[in-house]
Amino acid sequence: MISTDSKIIKLCSSREAAYLRLLFIAITGLIAYSNTFQMSFNFDDIVNIVNNPVVKEFNVSGFKQALQSRRAFGIFTFQLNYFISGTNVIGYHLVNIFIHISAGFLVYALITLLLSAPYFKSEQEVKENSLSIPFISALLFVVHPVQTQAVTYIVQRFASLATLLVLASIVCYLRGRVIQHSSERSFCAECGWFAAALLAGLLAFYTKEIAYTLPVVIVLVEFAFFDLKRAKIIGLVVAALSSITIILVKFSSGYIAVDNIISKLDDITRIQTITSRSDYFLTQLRVIVTYIRLLLFPVNQSVDYDYALSHSFLEWRVFASFLLILTMICFALWLIFAYRGGNKYLRLSAFGILWFFLTLSVESSVLPIIDLIFEHRVYLPSVGFIMAVSSFGLSLGWRYGSLNISQKVLLGFLSIALVLAGATWKRNLVWTNDKTLWEDATAKKPGSARAWNNFGGALIKQREGKKALFALIKSIELDPSKPDAWNNLGIAIDLLGVYKDRFNRTAEVFKDPRAIEDRVVSRWLGEVNNSLGLAYEITGNFPKAAENYRNAAGYSPSLGIAYFNLAIVSAGMGDYRTIAEQQQILWLVDPVLAERLKSRLSGLVPTD
C-alpha cells in the first residue's frame, strides 16, 4: 500500500502530474487571496485610479493620453477595468489575482525550461525528481505574504503585470532557444517564439521601469545555461546594453542636443526626490537586506517603513549589509565559475541570486526614489530568490541525504508553503480599508510620521474626530514640516463641531502664490499652532496646549483667538495670572473676543 507521503512526493515530481501541480498552485493561490475581493481602494489607489481622469476614458483620447506615460500598458488595463466595472473593486482584484497566479505558472515554466537547457542536457542531469524545483518555487512565489502589496494593493498591478510580462518574454525566448538545440528544429517555431518574446518585452517596458533589466537577464540566461563562445557573449552584452540605452534615450527625448538628453536622463532616473545618489545607494544596501529578511522571515510587514537615510559607508549597518550582499554575489559567481562538486542544480541557485540583485537594481541602486522601501518592489526579484532557495535546499537533499531525508526536505517545503499561504490570508486583512491599513502601519512602525498622518486621515473619513487628533498630533510631533498633517488637524477638530469659534480651518498655504510672503507664512503658522494647541487641549494635555497657543501668538501677534484659547486652557489649569494677561492683550488686539472671554469665564475666575 502506497503511503500518503509517497503520494505527495509523486505529485510533486512525476512528469504525469504536471497539470495537477499547476492546479494545486492555482487553488492554493486562490485560497490565500480569497478574502481580498471586497478590500477597498487604498493609499495611492485613490489618486491613480478612482480620481484619475485618464483611467475613466476608454476611448481614443484616453489611449493617446495613456501612451504619453512610460506605464501605458498598465494604465490601459485599468481603463479596461473601469470601463467594465467602474469603481467596483471586485473586478480589479480579480484581474490582479489572475495576473499573480499566471505569474506563478510562468515561474514554473521558466525553471522547467531552464532544466531543459544544454547545461543540464549535456550530461543527462535532468532527473524526474528535479521537477519538484519548479513546482516548489512557483508555489512559494504564489503564496508568499511579501507579495500581498503587489497583488492586494490594486495600483501595484504595475509591478505584478510587469513581472508577468518579463517572465513571459523570458519563457518565450527560452522556448525558442530550446527548440534550436532540439533534434527537431523548426525555423517557423523559433521565429514565432522569439517574436512573442519581443512583444512581451515591449509590453513590459510600457508597464513599469523594472522591465528595463530584461535584456541583461536574457544575457544571464545565455551565459549560465547555454554553450556560448566568447564572441557571442560579447555580442549579447553589447546588444543588451544598447537596448537599455535606447530605452532611456527614448524616454528622455524630444531633444537632439546631447546635453539636453543627459539632463533629461538625470530627471527620469530621479523620482520626486533630491536625495543624493550616494546616500540613496548606501541606504539601499540596508533596504536590500530587509527585503532578504522579509523573504526568509515575512514578519512585521508594513505598508510604510520609517527608514532613515544613511550617509556613510562606515555606518555598521551599511557596512554589514554590503558584506552580506557581496558574499551572496561572490557565492553565486563561485558556483558558476569554480564549483566542481557535480551538483549541477546549484547553477539554478547561482542564477537565482544574480537574478535577485539584477532585477532589484532599478529601484535599489543609485536611482533615487522618494520612498526608500516598498514591499512590492521585491515582487520580480523574489522570483530569483525563491528559485535559489528552493533549488539549493532540494538539490542538497537529493545529493547528500538518503531518500528519506530528501523526501522530508520536500515535505518541509510544502509545509512552509501552506504556512505562508495562511500568513498571506491573514496579511490581506490589513488591506480591508484605509483605517486597518494605517492602524497596522502605526503599530509596526510607530516612528513614521506619514503613517500617523494617513491613519488620522482614515479616521477623519470615518468621522472619528477625537481619535484622529491623537494620530495627527503624533504625526506632527514626529515631523512638523508636513503641511497636510497640520491641515488634517483642523479638519479633525471641525468634525467635533463644538470648537468652531476657537480656530480657523487652514488650507495648505504653500499652494497659494503668496506663500513666499513672510506675513502669509507667519499667519498660517500662527493658525496651525493654534489648531495644535486646541488638539492638545481636547485630548487633555493642557501644558502642551498652552505652549502651542503661545507659539501661535508668537508667529502671528494679531491672532486674537490664540490669546483667547490660552486664557481658556489657563482657566482649566488654575493659572489666573495668565488669564488676566491674555484678557488685557485681547482688549488691545480684538475687543470683541475680549468681551466674549470675559463673559465665558464669568463666575469661573476669582474676582479678587
Residue 1's pLDDT is what? 43
- Our CA angle for 257, 263, 267, nearest 5°, is 140
Confidence tier at 399 by pLDDT (50, 70, 90): low
Q: Which residue has the higher pLDDT, 8 or 558?
A: 558
For 248-252, 422-426, 519-523, 556-560, which range has the lowest pLDDT when averaged over its residues? 248-252
For residue range 236-245, list pLDDT tens digits in order: 666 666 666 6
Q: 36: closest CA among 157, 167, 126?
A: 157
Residue 166's pLDDT is what? 97
Q: 383: closest CA among 363, 404, 357, 401?
A: 357
- Which residue has 497583488 as its cell numbers? 151
For 16-20, 220-224, 489-493, 559-563, which range has the lowest pLDDT when averaged over its residues? 16-20
Q: Which residue has the higher pLDDT, 68 or 136?
A: 136
Residue 191's pLDDT is what? 87
The separation between CA 264 and the C-alpha centre of its own chain, rounded to angstroms, equals: 25
Cell of 404: 528519506
Handedness of CA 385, 389, 394, 399 (dihedral sign): positive
Residue 419's pLDDT is what? 96
Highest mean pLDDT among 122-131, 167-176, 264-273, 521-530 belongs to 167-176
Q: Distance from first CA to last CA of the chain, Å, rounded?
A: 100
For residue range 187-234, list pLDDT tens digits in order: 788 889 999 999 999 999 999 999 999 999 998 999 888 876 666 666
The separation between CA 576 and the C-alpha centre of its own chain, rounded to angstroms, equals: 53
Measured CA to CA in angstroms, residue 383 lies from 100, 148, 183, 330 at distances of 12, 15, 31, 20
Q: 502: closest CA among 420, 570, 569?
A: 569
How many of the other CB atoms lie within 10 Å of CB of 463? Answer: 11
For residue range 472-501, list pLDDT tens digits in order: 999 999 998 888 898 899 889 988 888 888
Neighbouring-strand partners of residue 271? 369
Residue 608's pLDDT is what? 47
For 156-165, 166-175, 393-402, which range has the lowest pLDDT when averaged over its residues? 393-402
Judge whether 320 and 314 are in contact, CB under 8 Å: no
- Average pLDDT of the residues in 531-549: 92
Burial 464-488 (b: 16+ CB within 10 A, else e): bbebbbbbbbbbbebeeebbebbbb
Residue type, 472: L
- Which residue has 491599513 as its cell numbers? 437
Whole-model pTM: value is 0.89
Q: 285: closest CA among 327, 313, 262, 249?
A: 313
Separation between Cα atoms, residue 260 and residue 258, nearest integer Å? 5
Judge whether 21 and 411 are in contact, CB under 8 Å: no
**Mean model confidence pLDDT for the chain:** 86
Separation between Cα atoms, residue 358 and residue 534, nearest integer Å? 52
